Amino acid sequence: MIVTEKDTKFVYAFEEGQKEMVDLLGGKGSNLAEMTRLGLPVPSGFTISTQACLNYLKNNKLDSELILQIEKKAEELEIKTNKKFNDLVSPLLVSVRSGAKFSMPGMMDTVLNLGMNDVTVETIAKITGNSAFAYDSYRRFIQMFSDVVKEVDRQLFEQELTYYKEKQGYQYDTQMKERDWKIITQLYKEIYANEVNEQFPQEPEKQLLESIEAVFKSWNNPRAKTYRRMHAISDDLGTAVTVQEMVFGNTGMKSGTGVAFTRNPSNGKQGLFGEFLINAQGEDVVAGIRTPQDISQLAKIMPEAYQKFTDLAALLEAHYHDMQDIEFTIEEGQLFILQTRNGKRTPRAAIEIAIDLVEEGVISKEEALKRLTPQMLEQLLHPTFVAKELAQHEVFAQGLPASPGSASGKVYFTAEAAKKANQAGEKTVLLRKETSPEDIEGMAISEAIVTAHGGMTSHAAVVARGMGTCCVVGCEKLQIEEGSKKATVAGHTIEEGTVISVDGSTGCIYMGEIAKEKPTDESTALGKIVSWSKEIGTIKVMANAETEKEIAEAFQLGAEGMGLVRTEHMFFGEKRIVEMRKMILSPDPTAKKAALMNLKTFQKEDFKVIYRLAKEKSATIRLLDPPLHEFIPVGKEVAKMATILGISEAEVNQRIANLAENNPMLGHRGCRLAITNPEIYEMQVAAIMEAAIEVTEELGNESVIQPEIMIPLVSIEKEIVFIKEKLEKIISNTFIEKGKEIPYLIGTMLETPRACLIADKISKHVDFISFGTNDLTQLTFGFSRDDIGKFVNDYERQQIIESDPFQHLDKDGVGKLLKIAINSVKENESSDVSIGICGEVGGDPQSIEFLLNEGIQYVSCSPYRIPAALLTIAKLNIS
Amino acid sequence: MIVTEKDTKFVYAFEEGQKEMVDLLGGKGSNLAEMTRLGLPVPSGFTISTQACLNYLKNNKLDSELILQIEKKAEELEIKTNKKFNDLVSPLLVSVRSGAKFSMPGMMDTVLNLGMNDVTVETIAKITGNSAFAYDSYRRFIQMFSDVVKEVDRQLFEQELTYYKEKQGYQYDTQMKERDWKIITQLYKEIYANEVNEQFPQEPEKQLLESIEAVFKSWNNPRAKTYRRMHAISDDLGTAVTVQEMVFGNTGMKSGTGVAFTRNPSNGKQGLFGEFLINAQGEDVVAGIRTPQDISQLAKIMPEAYQKFTDLAALLEAHYHDMQDIEFTIEEGQLFILQTRNGKRTPRAAIEIAIDLVEEGVISKEEALKRLTPQMLEQLLHPTFVAKELAQHEVFAQGLPASPGSASGKVYFTAEAAKKANQAGEKTVLLRKETSPEDIEGMAISEAIVTAHGGMTSHAAVVARGMGTCCVVGCEKLQIEEGSKKATVAGHTIEEGTVISVDGSTGCIYMGEIAKEKPTDESTALGKIVSWSKEIGTIKVMANAETEKEIAEAFQLGAEGMGLVRTEHMFFGEKRIVEMRKMILSPDPTAKKAALMNLKTFQKEDFKVIYRLAKEKSATIRLLDPPLHEFIPVGKEVAKMATILGISEAEVNQRIANLAENNPMLGHRGCRLAITNPEIYEMQVAAIMEAAIEVTEELGNESVIQPEIMIPLVSIEKEIVFIKEKLEKIISNTFIEKGKEIPYLIGTMLETPRACLIADKISKHVDFISFGTNDLTQLTFGFSRDDIGKFVNDYERQQIIESDPFQHLDKDGVGKLLKIAINSVKENESSDVSIGICGEVGGDPQSIEFLLNEGIQYVSCSPYRIPAALLTIAKLNIS
């Protein structure tokens, strides 16, 4: 290693640093230096660099050069403070604190009151005229030093003190007198001697070096390591150590200590927000034994100090361009700033503060967006349980957090029962083994949906996210007996009508109702973030939405258009499903055809609603995707259907049996339906084109609708060729019938591995391609999202998978297929096919970076995920 | 297009060609040229090139340059034969025949007796002194010309003749006199005039050019196209046309015609094999109207001609290094060779002949293998009727054994009916008076073909042998009534749908279905081919086999070892399934464990059987693959199981319900079982290792068993890491318990798309990888093999897919994944992982070339496919 000046200078006085030196001096050290540089009243001190820490951790001892530098800076500190270690008149006491580059609150060690010994304690008692304070300070030092430096169990000290107070009949520390603290100090020194086998060290220099060494070591204590792993902080950074003159807030009624935020960290409102305690040290505030006063009260008690603090707080916020969390101490009327840092805040406050700072001209829009996370926006859109209430409820089951939100209601085991209860005014929670398209109405009216099986892209999860309804899936421990209308889990029995509460952000389920708080009116704030994100982002965000309500919401939340309009849900209305079943089950071709024509009428009206909302914006309509057996009647419906069809129940059952499949996921669905039954897609496309032409005429000169037709589940080039030819014939017939032509696009979904592998060939025949990552993930892994619940918990427990591939794109597998597909399409230079994604991961911030890098041109996701997706894209462009 | 000499010379006299010019002159033309060159008695003639045909097909007319060349060669022919078109003394008659590069028997058109007209017919009558012959020849020419050139329905002529004969009370053509043929000729000319709206053309030159044109056109007739598709012959080759002086086998009792093979085309035995008809033309033999005599009879009737033919046949076989199929005509005692070609033969004959030619020193082993196809070996392994069963069935009809094999099926009387039944899943037997080229598709799909008429070289016989389809011809006692869809023979009535059994090796036909068994002793011939193939082939062929019988068979058929030993089938024995069900369903952990230990005992015995057979050869054992619900009880078994488990039936049903899956193919199976229930694989591996050690000890110093353990359905790197660690612990425990260590290999299957995409990562942890193309194909397409039936017929009908991807590897999709996987594994230079394939396509000759090119190191397939796979690999190495 080449020795440079930097390598040989290990210790920096506060005056020598600045905030940019955070790598070397840590967060705390560089901030103290910065504040010193700004002329703030910061107790003097110096910082030992992270470099020194790393050297120490490598060699396991303090370098002699380092010791020399520490001693030199300690001497300078004595001069600056006009105090001296061991001095009989003006003794120097210091704190020794850790301070890494990234804040790791409470994870590493701190020693306060260093410099105390049997002589100094008396001097301090004399100077302050407060002997109890002096001995209390000394015993605190002994306890911390023993714990941090010598690893003596702190419980030994606590027990001794508790025992002593009991003996004396004291309830609080404040009842302890000078004599009591003296006795305690003596007892503490005895514990030290017993445990460490030496007398408590009296030399401040020895105390200092040993404390510094201990703080260095604490970089590698287990809880620090865990914290770093959890927060993705590198183990190679090391911590700096700050040595700073002690100031005391507990010297009497003219002293005090407090913490204040420059803005409200809960809602972001402007104005100081914080609290303080008179005659107290910082740890007393934290311990919560005495209830602190609101910071505004300080104006009355110490107007001068308050005014000074207010000014300094403003100065600091302006300097750091962000809301500050400031620790201060007042020693005998004199204000000291001990620490400042960017304040932690709620998502809501984060957004408000970011917006306010932009509007105050403090930061740019880009900077504001950088400070926000997609999770903040998601939280903003859903109610949450009141924290206090939540603490009083036991989690009795947990599943996958499929769609965020917090909801309570009465449990129902079928969609019909839920619907009925809802019509009777009940709030319902739909509890199912798994949901299917027939459940759609029961889902729509429920407050929350819970399923025992299925993963993050199961039917329940996808639909719930689309609706913005709170949903927990794959709650495998729930034993649901739909027949007897009950569910059991871990000894609890839930019957129809039992009230439960569901947290869709954590997957936790609670018994009983829990109070909720709604985010108030967030539209202004959210609207601003969405609009700034759209200004800055590089690719479009579309919505997966099909109902009028969803589409309207999607546009309000920032969608550029609809990237996936599913048509299958449109067939489940009461009248429609009968026509659908006629079409599928009738033995009479004429009746089949009539049913198809009736369906066309319904579909056309659906599409007109969509086009009136979307106008010239994209609305990509996917043709029928699920297998026909999803639409067949069950139970009593069979007999009803037999009557309608005029055939026997047995024949209906026979026809239903013929439709059954072993692996529906790999079965007769998607474009395969169009090879065997071209009339279905032909009907849909005729309905689309007629609707588009009619709405175009309604709109006059305002907009021309350009239908986008998407063919699902292609895996063979000739599938798309065959279907496209048939559809184009229908389209040109419609143009002739209507006497009007409009532009249109035909595209396809890439959702089988084979489609990705031959994407270059497929793309020659289409105007756009859209990756359907839900099915693609199922096929790439060979995981059925409906069945994954049987083993996914074990997979997570054994860390076989790091994250659910239906939630976060599997880059190694599915991602590689996307890459192969996109590259092959782009190699064809004449191709101007647009490339998007409409699977669930399209709305997942973790996945969007990968998608952007690979050249995806738009993402489409459920409406409620749009703001987060927009923010993610904007932030990627900024960085 | 650049005009070269080749491009401008379109017509070649026989003297100008040779056999190497087959591309240009077709098979027939080049062979006639070759025979002419060899000095054989070939009627003179010339050939118009395939190039001329292609030009014609492009421009839709005969080129003027071509017409000039034809006229010139026709003049030369007149000089050579000393005959002239229209000559009043010595008129020239010619045949016009198609002749493509690859033989397409009967698929294209032929015109005989060209040159006949109202004048020539009289001259011929005079010369031959046989007026009946002359008019018969003329009417034949009118009929053929009308059919071939003018597309007049030949039935019109047949009906006229039949009607006339009935009126006269004749039964056979031979009863027709001069006057009768004159009347018929007149009637035929009238039909022509009516249908074509012009008089029958009298100018031989016009007859010739129009016939040539018609033969060119016939390249693209539907049956020729079908034949080419079935035999993978390119549509771009075109046909040559040969114009040759007519010689007549039907001028009287000193004339005749015949066809003979130089060896027996049915079993390959040496010696002339064929038949002839006195006073007949070639088409009489082929059409099967008269039943011909055995060629050996010719020695008695015309000893001189017979001797000459025998000599020429030997000469031709020696010249062509292969068995010849020779057509000859004797005109008034003079022998002419009309055609020679490599004879079609049964697979069995092909193999015998190839082996004999090697042993006679005529060809090399490589040449012998080149002449064999994988299909031939597969045919050789075709089943025969179980002797005992056969003895219980009465022969109700017998014909000529035209093509070996044993088959049963439902009778159909037309090719279309058979085709329809086949599409509905029926096994069919096609029963016809005689077959014609239009029947080709119905023949191709039938299990067996039976004709009432015709001989060993009739259309039915030749085509069936080519296809390797079981065939009996000339079963004259069969009274077939195609119209009323029935046949009668000796009191039996066979209706459409009646099941019969056909033995193509004996010519016997039986009522009902007869059980079949695989042939045992093809060992000599097959053994030689297998052993030559192994000498020449580059990669190993292993077997997918698990029972003792299968494994023994596999070794006999040439397997190097077992590439896939499935373990799941081993759990279905009566006692075993009970233990399996206990393990799966018992609520009592102790009972579960006891069941597992019992299963281990069974498994260990299974593995010992395998190792005793395989010894030091590979036996790759795949750990449990299917989902557990495949083993659960159904129906009455549930109650039985409840008693055994000591729990209620309802509880058993509940436990079964918990195991149910929506998409079992994508469910909880393969290595996923080992993450949730490691004990199962651990049990299996302990059983494997104990069995291997015990058999190693049994064998003494003979062999050391090296177990190969294969983990199925991996898609994530950590799956293999997790499972391998667990299994290696079991293995080392077993070594300690047994006090003996043996080598072992751990490998995995790549059968999900993701496994292929991360093959480099997976391969780091294993000794071998084996592609499971069955599951991989399902996942790549998203096709469930169990459900594909719902749409695959439409896919084939609409030509969306060219071939079943489960039968022939899908190169574009699945093949691309293989390529990606293999390349990524090989990029890791330190890797010595061996790479194989054990899916169905591993035994498919069409797929093996691709697999070899991609670097697969072994294939594994069902035992009966091994010889074909070995041959394929050897042939690839030769070429």
Nearest to A666 among B751, B753, B783 (CB): B783
> At residue A458, what are phi and psi to the nearest 5 degrees?
-65, 165
Helix (H, G, I), strand (E, B) or coil at B818: helix
pLDDT of A289: 55
Tell me: pLDDT of B288 over 70: no
Does B676 contact A722 at a Cβ distance shorter than 8 Å? no
Does A662 contact B790 at a Cβ distance shorter than 8 Å? no
Residues of chain B neighbouring A434 (CB-CB closer than 8 A): 662
pTM listed for this prediction: 0.76
**CB of B156 within 8 A of CB of B191?**
yes
Find, in chain B, the residue whose alpha carbon is nearest to that of A802: B718
Does A665 contact B662 at a Cβ distance shorter than 8 Å? yes
CB atoms under 10 Å from CB of A57, counted, come to 16
**Nearest Cα to Cα of residue A239 among A35, A23, A20, A479:** A23
Fold entry, domain B382-517: Glucose Oxidase; domain 1 (3.50.30)
**Nearest Cα to Cα of residue A863 among A559, A561, A564:** A559
Tell me: pLDDT of B262 over 80: yes
Tokens 């700050």, located at residue: A242
Q: Among A754, A761, A804, which would you mutate to test the B interface (most chain B Cβ atoms within 10 Å of its Cβ)?
A: A754
Does A713 contact B782 at a Cβ distance shorter than 8 Å? yes
Q: Among B663, B680, B824, which would you mutate to test the A interface (most chain A Cβ atoms within 10 Å of its Cβ)?
A: B663
Find, in chain B, the residue whose alpha carbon is nearest to that of A673: B791
**CB of A428 within 8 A of CB of A421?**
yes
| Shortest Cα distance, chain A CAs vs residue B747, angstroms | 18
Three-state secondary structure readout of A391-443: HCCCEEEECEEEECCEEEEEEECCHHHHHHHHHCCCCEEEEECCCCHHHHHHH
Indicate the helix (H) or strand (E) that contains A502: strand A499-503
**Nearest Cα to Cα of residue A779 among B776, B602, B757:** B776
Cα–Cα distance between A109 and A212 in angstroms, integer? 10
Q: Among A584, A751, A779, which would you mutate to test the B interface (most chain B Cβ atoms within 10 Å of its Cβ)?
A: A779
Nearest to B663 among A753, A761, A787 (CB): A787
Range of A292-306, A474-488, B283-297 with top mean pLDDT: A292-306
CATH 3.50.30.10 residue window(s) in chain B = 382-517
Residues of chain B neighbouring A752 (CB-CB closer than 8 A): 780-782
Helix-strand-coil split of chain A, %, nearest 5: 50, 15, 30
Q: Percent of chain B having pLDDT more than 90?
A: 67
| Shortest Cα distance, chain B CAs vs residue A790, angstroms | 7
Find, in chain B, the residue whose alpha carbon is nearest to that of A663: B663
Q: Percent of chain A having pLDDT more than 90?
A: 68
Nearest to A662 among B775, B780, B787 (CB): B787
Q: How confident is residue B8, by pLDDT bands cut at 50, 70 and 90?
A: confident
Q: In what order do the strands lie in the sheet containing A492-495?
A: A479-481, A486-489, A492-495
Cα–Cα distance between B878 and B364 in angstroms, integer? 12
Does the interface predicted TM-score (ipTM) exceed 0.85?
no
Higher pLDDT, B874 or B488: B874
Residue A387, C-beta contacts closer than 8 angstroms, at least 6 positions apart: none
**CB of B501 within 8 A of CB of B509?**
yes
pLDDT of B461: 80
Helix (H, G, I), strand (E, B) or coil at B736: helix
Find, in chain B, the residue whose alpha carbon is nearest to that of A817: B757
Beta strand pairing call for A834-837 and A508-511: unpaired
Tell me: pLDDT of B52 over 60: yes
Cα–Cα distance between A112 and A130 in angstroms, integer? 18
CB atoms under 10 Å from CB of B4, counted, come to 8
| Shortest Cα distance, chain B CAs vs residue A769, angstroms | 17
Mean pLDDT of B422-449: 87
Find, in chain A, the residue whose alpha carbon is nearest to that of B777: A754
Q: How confident is residue A284, by pLDDT bands cut at 50, 70 and 90?
A: low
Residues of chain A neighbouring B752 (CB-CB closer than 8 A): 780-782
pLDDT of B261: 95
Does A753 contact B799 at a Cβ distance shorter than 8 Å? no
Q: How confident is residue A1, by pLDDT bands cut at 50, 70 and 90?
A: very low
Q: How buried is A799 (Cβ within 10 angstroms: 0-12 exposed, 13-18 middle, 19+ buried)?
A: exposed
| Tokens linked to B565 | 């030993």
CATH 3.30.470.20 residue window(s) in chain B = 256-342
Poorest-pLDDT segment among A17-31, A802-816, B102-116: B102-116
Indicate the helix (H) or strand (E) that contains A503: strand A499-503
Helix (H, G, I), strand (E, B) or coil at A860: strand
Cα–Cα distance between B506 and B406 in angstroms, integer? 10
| Shortest Cα distance, chain A CAs vs residue B814, angstroms | 7
Residue A171, C-beta contacts closer than 8 angstroms, at least 6 positions apart: A165
Cα–Cα distance between B735 and B742 in angstroms, integer? 8
Residues of chain A neighbouring B823 (CB-CB closer than 8 A): none
Catalytic residue annotation of B: 459, 838
CATH 3.20.20.60 residue window(s) in chain B = 571-747
Residues of chain A neighbouring B666 (CB-CB closer than 8 A): 663, 665-666, 778-779, 782-784, 787
pLDDT of B172: 78
pLDDT digits (tens, 9 = 90+) for B807-842: 789 999 999 999 999 999 999 877 789 999 998 789
Poorest-pLDDT segment among A344-348, A848-852, B747-751: A344-348
**Nearest Cα to Cα of residue B10 among B51, B46, B60:** B51
pLDDT of A6: 52
Report how far Cα A26 is from the mean position of its chain's Cα atoms: 27
Mean pLDDT of B353-372: 95
Tell me: pLDDT of A870 over 60: yes
Does A752 contact B668 at a Cβ distance shorter than 8 Å? no
Nearest to A675 among B752, B794, B816 (CB): B794
pLDDT digits (tens, 9 = 90+) for A372-389: 999 888 777 877 888 788
Mean pLDDT of B511-535: 82
Does A813 contact B780 at a Cβ distance shorter than 8 Å? no
Q: Which CATH superfamily is domain B52-245 in?
A: ATP-grasp fold, A domain (3.30.1490.20)
Beta strand pairing call for A708-711 and A619-622: parallel
Known binding-site positions of A: 566, 622, 751, 772-775
Higher pLDDT, A105 or B296: B296
pLDDT of B517: 73
B774 has binding-site annotation: yes
Mean pLDDT of B392-403: 84
Nearest to B662 among A761, A784, A820 (CB): A784
pLDDT of B457: 63
Residues of chain A neighbouring B787 (CB-CB closer than 8 A): 661-664, 666-668
CATH 3.30.1490.20 residue window(s) in chain B = 52-245
Mean per-residue pLDDT of chain B: 90
Amino acid (1-letter code) at residue B496: E
B566 has binding-site annotation: yes
Tell me: pLDDT of B67 over 80: yes
pLDDT of B2: 41
Nearest to A666 among B672, B752, B782 (CB): B782
Does B753 contact A817 at a Cβ distance shorter than 8 Å? yes
Catalytic residue annotation of A: 459, 838
Higher pLDDT, A334 or B467: A334
| Shortest Cα distance, chain B CAs vs residue A655, angstroms | 13
- How many beta-carbon contacts under 8 Å exist across A and B? 175
Residue A451, C-beta contacts closer than 8 angstroms, at least 6 positions apart: A399, A431, A432, A433, A434, A435, A458, A460, A472, A473, A474, A475
Strands (E), B101-205: 110-114
pLDDT digits (tens, 9 = 90+) for B695-713: 999 998 788 999 999 999 9
- DSSP single-letter state for residue A119: T
Poorest-pLDDT segment among A177-186, A311-320, B859-868: B859-868
Residues of chain A neighbouring B784 (CB-CB closer than 8 A): 661-663, 665-667
**CB of B419 within 8 A of CB of B445?**
yes
Cα–Cα distance between B582 and A112 in angstroms, integer? 66
Fold entry, domain B571-747: TIM Barrel (3.20.20)
Strands (E), B545-598: 562-566
Cα–Cα distance between A822 and A831 in angstroms, integer? 11
B811, B812, B816, B819: CA torsion to nearest 10: 40
pLDDT of B291: 76
Fold entry, domain A256-342: D-amino Acid Aminotransferase; Chain A, domain 1 (3.30.470)
| Shortest Cα distance, chain A CAs vs residue B754, angstroms | 5
Tell me: pLDDT of A2 over 60: no
pLDDT digits (tens, 9 = 90+) for B182-195: 999 999 999 999 99
pLDDT digits (tens, 9 = 90+) for A74-129: 999 999 999 999 999 999 999 999 999 987 766 778 899 999 999 999 999 998 88
Cα–Cα distance between A562 and A618 in angstroms, integer? 6
pLDDT of A701: 79
Mean per-residue pLDDT of chain A: 91
| Tokens linked to A747 | 């595209």
Mean pLDDT of B752-781: 96
Three-state secondary structure readout of B387-431: HHHHHCCCEEEECEEEECCEEEEEEECCHHHHHHHHHCCCCEEEE
Tell me: pLDDT of B565 over 90: yes
Cα–Cα distance between A451 and A461 in angstroms, integer? 9
Tell me: pLDDT of B286 over 70: no
Q: How confident is residue B550, by pLDDT bands cut at 50, 70 and 90?
A: confident
Mean pLDDT of B282-302: 80
**CB of B871 within 8 A of CB of B525?**
no
Does B663 contact A801 at a Cβ distance shorter than 8 Å? no
| Shortest Cα distance, chain A CAs vs residue B659, angstroms | 8
